[in-house]
């Protein structure tokens, strides 16, 4: 089959990968309909982290083509959305909602297992991993929003859930990437009344407002912190959502989180957390990689109802043969997030 192949920093090209086949009774083969590029894909693309050569990607929706004898809950012909990690949903961690810690689970697009940036994927633990999308004849906009549940919207939701966003809250979102924008949408969905977004790009500000942001702060660092504190009477926000992971963004989230609140952190921390400082203000930290599989069912309902439209973060689109452009557009910050159209439903 045709698929994106990673061979080193900056080198994402389309080539041939073995056609996925059923290896375990719990496998399914899914023909990809839509895939996308994650902000975390840029880490290895830019050489900032290691990645095995071979298959890449971990965000996709597709049609089930074949299922192993042990697969329950899905069948050939189903439209499904895949969370970015597969899991068994029966171990103590999965049952506790921590699907990312499933001992039987693993990563898509890890060099060996395909991950949605190609024509098809062998999905391990398919019955527990894939979530069927009910109904038929969904619009393209709906399908794009379903795709967003694979990772980016689940991650934004995780930031909001981890910070304990509740009805009436004032929230600050640090980061105007696709995750930050989805965090705005998630905070609004959970009932936040005021959502302050840090953004310096007109197109992202516009989408943030569409998603529910009530205030936009254009500064960064100390200037941004002071601006948020100014908007909140010096008190700070009920929930700060950290969606970047740099020293500066972590420090900003820390500075604007009111005493006693919890920073929801989903930007992989590349910087050091000012732990002692937050300790003395009773500010906590929660987050990490989102347990997308646990979140998808409730978010999917809202997507299908039209209540949320996280697919709006895809502002660049191409096909598999041009997937290198999808990476370049994000790397050069021309795109918030790239969608790769593979096939029809």
- State the residues that interact with its own copies by CB under 8 A: 92-93, 96-98, 100-101, 162, 233, 235, 258-260, 262, 265, 268-269, 272-273, 275-276, 278-289, 291
Q: How far is the CB of 272 from its own copies (least distance, A)?
A: 7
Closer CB to its own copies, residue 100 or residue 113? 100
Closer CB to its own copies, residue 80 or residue 85? 85
Count of residues in the chain: 345
Q: How far is the CB of 40 from its own copies (least distance, A)?
A: 12
The C-alpha atoms of residue 159 and residue 153 are separated, in whole angstroms, by 10
Closer CB to its own copies, residue 8 or residue 279? 279
Which among 284, 301, 242, 328 has a CA at the least distance from the CA of 4? 328
In eight-state DSSP terms, residue 188 is H
Task: Please check whether residue 29 is in contact with residue 20, taking contact to mean a CB–CB distance below 8 angstroms.
Answer: yes
- DSSP per-residue codes, 95-153: HTT-GGG-TT-EESSSBSS--SSBSEEEETTHHHH-EE--SS---HHHHHHHHHTTTHH
Can you give the C-alpha Rg of the chain in angstroms? 20
Q: How far is the CB of 291 from its own copies (least distance, A)?
A: 7
Q: Is 285 helix (H, G, I), strand (E, B) or coil?
A: strand
Q: How far is the CB of 85 from its own copies (least distance, A)?
A: 12
Closer CB to its own copies, residue 77 or residue 233? 233
Return phi, psi of residue 61, to 5°: -125, 155
The C-alpha atoms of residue 275 and residue 300 are separated, in whole angstroms, by 36
Q: How far is the CB of 139 from its own copies (least distance, A)?
A: 34
Q: How far is the CB of 290 from its own copies (least distance, A)?
A: 9
Closer CB to its own copies, residue 17 or residue 281? 281
Please identify which residue in the block is written with the tokens 């529910």.
212
Tokens of 149: 């549940």
Q: How far is the CB of 235 from its own copies (least distance, A)?
A: 5
Closer CB to its own copies, residue 100 or residue 130? 100
Task: Please check whether residue 82 is in contact with residue 118, taking contact to mean a CB–CB distance below 8 angstroms.
Answer: no
Task: Please check whether residue 164 is in contact with residue 138, taking contact to mean a CB–CB distance below 8 angstroms.
Answer: no
Q: How far is the CB of 183 from its own copies (least distance, A)?
A: 16
Task: Please check whether residue 227 is in contact with residue 219, taking contact to mean a CB–CB distance below 8 angstroms.
Answer: yes
Closer CB to its own copies, residue 180 or residue 291? 291
Closer CB to its own copies, residue 136 or residue 272? 272
């Amino acid at each position: 089959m045709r698929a994106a192949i990673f061979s080193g920093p900056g080198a994402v090209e389309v080539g041939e990968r073995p056609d996925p086949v059923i290896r375990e009774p719990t496998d399914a083969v899914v023909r990809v309909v839509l895939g996308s590029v994650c902000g975390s894909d840029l880490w290895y693309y830019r050489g900032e982290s290691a990645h095995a050569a071979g298959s890449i990607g971990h965000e996709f929706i597709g049609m089930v083509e074949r299922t192993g004898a042990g697969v329950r809950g899905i069948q050939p012909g189903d439209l499904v959305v895949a969370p970015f990690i597969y899991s068994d949903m029966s171990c103590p961690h999965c049952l506790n909602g921590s699907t990312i810690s499933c001992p039987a689970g693993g990563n898509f697009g890890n060099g060996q297992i395909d991950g949605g940036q190609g024509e098809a994927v062998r999905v391990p633990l398919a019955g527990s991993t894939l979530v069927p999308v009910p109904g038929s004849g969904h619009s393209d906009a709906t399908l794009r929003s379903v795709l967003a549940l694979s990772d980016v919207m689940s991650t934004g939701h995780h930031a909001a859930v981890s910070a304990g966003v509740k009805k009436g809250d004032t929230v600050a979102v640090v980061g105007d990437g696709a995750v930050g924008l989805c965090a705005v949408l998630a905070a609004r969905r959970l009932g936040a009344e005021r959502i302050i977004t840090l953004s310096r790009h007109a197109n992202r500000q516009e989408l943030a407002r569409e998603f529910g942001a009530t205030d936009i702060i254009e500064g960064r660092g100390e200037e941004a912190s002071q601006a948020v504190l100014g908007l909140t009477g010096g008190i700070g926000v009920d929930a700060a959502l950290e969606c970047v992971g740099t020293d500066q963004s972590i420090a900003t989230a820390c500075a604007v989180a009111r005493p006693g609140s919890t920073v929801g952190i989903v930007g992989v921390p590349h910087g050091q957390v000012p732990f002692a400082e937050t300790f003395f203000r009773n500010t906590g930290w929660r987050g990490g990689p989102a347990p997308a599989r646990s979140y998808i069912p409730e978010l999917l309902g809202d997507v299908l109802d039209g209540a949320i439209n996280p697919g709006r973060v895809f502002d660049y689109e191409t096909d598999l043969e041009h997937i290198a452009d999808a990476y370049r557009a994000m790397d050069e910050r021309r795109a918030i997030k790239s969608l790769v159209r593979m096939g029809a439903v």
